[in-house]
Chains A and B, each alone.
Chain A
Amino acid sequence: MTQYMLTVHDDTESVGKIPPEQMQQMFEDVEKFNTKLRETGAWVFAGGLMPAETATVVDGTGTAPVFSDGPYLETKEHIGGFWVVEAADLDAALELAAEGSKACQGKVEVRPFQAEPPADA
């Protein structure tokens, strides 16, 4: 089994303009999908994020850490939420991503996690 991260990218400009009834539907569909993930054992973790303007960038590479107002990437599309799922292979992960995409009404990017290093390494 491999773990995959399924990320949902929101358009920050349009996300606030979604009518409440559509938002409600989205919540219900995502909850249904999450329940399915838990019941089938694919669930590892999932979460929705606060808007990108709440982000803070931290640079700890210098002598003293530098904090600045985020987000880090200058783009209109930011990660709005994600799932981490366990799947047998990419085909299985893509199938889950298609369901997740439908539920949250947005495009989903699928990326495999690195294999865990050997425990005795």
Chain B
Amino acid sequence: MIDPLAGEVERVFREEYGRLIASLVRRFGDIDIAQDAAGEALVAALEKWPGSGVPPNPGGWLTMTAGNRAIDRIRREQKRDEKHQAAAMMYDPTPHDSLGAFESAGDERLRLIFTCCHPALAPEARIALTLRLLGGLTVAEIASAFLVQETTMAQRITRAKAKIKAARIPYRIPEPEDLPGRVDTVLAVLLLVFNEGYLSSADGEPIRAELTGEAIRLARILHELMPQNMEVTGLLALLLLTESRREARVRNGELVPLGDQDRAGWDRDLIVEGQALVRQCLAANRPGRYQILAAINAVHTDARSAADTDWAQVAALYDQLTAIDPSPIVALNRAVAVAELDGPDVALAIVDRLPLESYHAWHATRAELLRRLGRTGEAMEAYDAALAATGNAAERAYLSRRRGELVIR
């Protein structure tokens, strides 16, 4: 029988992982040392906690244990090769006792995210490193999220870590004059981390609240540093408004689409906070991608019932977004609003032209539109294709039920 506490240890470990790695990197200047020490602390916790129980401050326990293990290792290696070890340390220019703007927010994870999202790294390596080091996802989970082989993903992460070390990609918050450009890559990564938590691609938990929570936490700190950057404000608003629907979004293990959700179950505090941020964006009048996405979510959270949704407003916002980002995924989302305004046939004509055949949401959207048009046989095939393209258990449950409701005559 599996010890129920082992699962609890793994859960705590994952929750604390980003904080643990960030503080170890700050202290020891090396990502590999940090990861090895964190791994050893996990093994120690798995041995100790089942007997003694989870300590009152598990994060502190893990940090202390991992720190001790790292010191042991560094002592061993320093004896072997002292100078080389010092040369391989990550560059960290700020004295550890000085408090920068971020340190006052008490967070080392933000330094780490700027390192992980450095423009000198390949875009796919940035998100992988962020998920691995800050989100605590396993290489296997990240590989499945990217639809690549685990060995490929492991190589990608190893290569990125080697580049950080060899090229001396710094472990710090960028200079104020470089910050706006560097922030864009961080925002893109934070949204991807959030999305991975909000609709987990792995076949475990359908929603990974620690990932959505982590993305929001990092977005909040970024917003605190750059209250004038409206795209940061927009991203935070987008994440909060999306997160507000989390409880209502999966019930009894099944995904509940926006129109069917119990709106009384939405988190009002998050909605109030998110909508206030959207109003700030509107007042600043410097629209950008994340601000528009946030505004679309604000339209939905404004509607008392699905029938009250201001679809014309949603479509207009998607038009604005298309002007900035004419991608097929934006066109697919816009088509959902078009279906409400102009009917499912008009929407289907748009959707059918989009080159998104490997994307589960494209198949799911087609299935619903075909169903509304009474084209039952084609709808069934589209549900099958959507089921084949998603590993998320809650989405599969929803799609299976919808498919099962269809009657072939």
Contacts and interface: CB of A to CB of B under 8 A. Distances in A.
A and B assemble together: yes
Interface of A: 2, 88-91, 93-94, 110-112, 114-121
B251 to A, nearest CB: 48
B84 A90 contact: no
Interface in B174-193: 174-175, 178
B120 A2 contact: no
A88 B178 CA distance: 16
Contacts of A93: 167-168
A118 B82 contact: yes
Contacts of B175: 91
B82 A88 contact: no
Contacts of B169: 89-91
B112 to A, nearest CB: 15
B341 interface: no
A88 B81 contact: no
A112 B168 contact: yes
User: Nearest 6 A-B pairs (CB), nearest first?
Assistant: A118-B83, A115-B87, A89-B170, A89-B91, A89-B168, A112-B167
Contact of A118 (B81, B167, B170, B174): B81
B167 A90 contact: yes
B356 interface: no
Given A118-B81, A118-B84, A91 B167 contact: no
**Which secondary structure dominates where chain B touches chain A?**
loop
B53 interface: no
Contacts of B170: 88-91
Contacts of B56: none
A22 B130 CA distance: 44
A88 B91 contact: yes
B3 to A, nearest CB: 45
Contacts of A117: 84
B95 interface: no
B132 to A, nearest CB: 20
Contact of A88 (B87, B93, B174): B93
A88 B90 CA distance: 11
Contacts, number: 43
B346 interface: no
Contacts of B88: 115
Nearest to A4: B167
Contacts of A94: 120
Contacts of B168: 2, 88-90, 93, 112
Nearest to B88: A115
A115 B84 contact: yes
A90 B120 contact: yes
B324 interface: no
B30 to A, nearest CB: 14
A90 B93 CA distance: 12
Nearest to A115: B87
Contacts of B84: 115, 117-118, 121
Nearest to B118: A90
Most buried by A among B91, B93, B118, B169: B91
B406 interface: no
A116 B84 CA distance: 8
A116 B88 CA distance: 11
B93 A89 contact: yes
Interface in B131-176: 166-170, 174-175
25 contacts: A2-B168, A88-B91, A89-B91, A89-B169, A89-B170, A90-B118, A90-B120, A90-B168, A90-B169, A91-B169, A91-B178, A93-B168, A94-B120, A110-B167, A112-B167, A112-B168, A114-B166, A115-B87, A115-B88, A116-B87, A117-B84, A118-B81, A118-B82, A119-B83, A121-B84
A94 B170 CA distance: 12
Most buried by B among A94, A110, A121: A94
B79 to A, nearest CB: 13
A95 to B, nearest CB: 8
A111 B120 CA distance: 11
Nearest to B85: A118
Contacts of B178: 91
Contacts of B91: 88-89
A26 B401 CA distance: 68
Nearest to A2: B168
A2 B166 CA distance: 9
B326 to A, nearest CB: 28
Nearest to A117: B84
B82 A91 contact: no
A121 to B, nearest CB: 8
A118 B166 CA distance: 16
Interface in B50-103: 81-84, 87-88, 91, 93
A120 B91 CA distance: 24
